[in-house]
Amino acid sequence: MDADYKSRTRKKNEARALQRLGEQLVALPDGLLETMALPDELLTAIEFARKIKRHGARRRQIQYIGVLMRHIDPQPIETALELIRSGNSGK
For 77, other C-beta atoms within 10 Å of its C-beta total 20
Per-residue model confidence as pLDDT tens digits over 71-83: 999 999 999 899 8
Residue-wise pLDDT for 7-60, tens only, equals: 999 999 999 999 999 999 999 988 888 888 899 999 999 999 999 999 999 999
- Give pLDDT, residue 1: 60
d(CA 17, CA 31) in angstroms, rounded, equals: 24
Distances (CA, A) of 65 to 2, 25, 37, 68, 83: 29, 10, 15, 5, 22
Domains of the chain: 9-85 (1.10.60.30)
Confidence of residue 3 (pLDDT cuts 50, 70, 90): confident
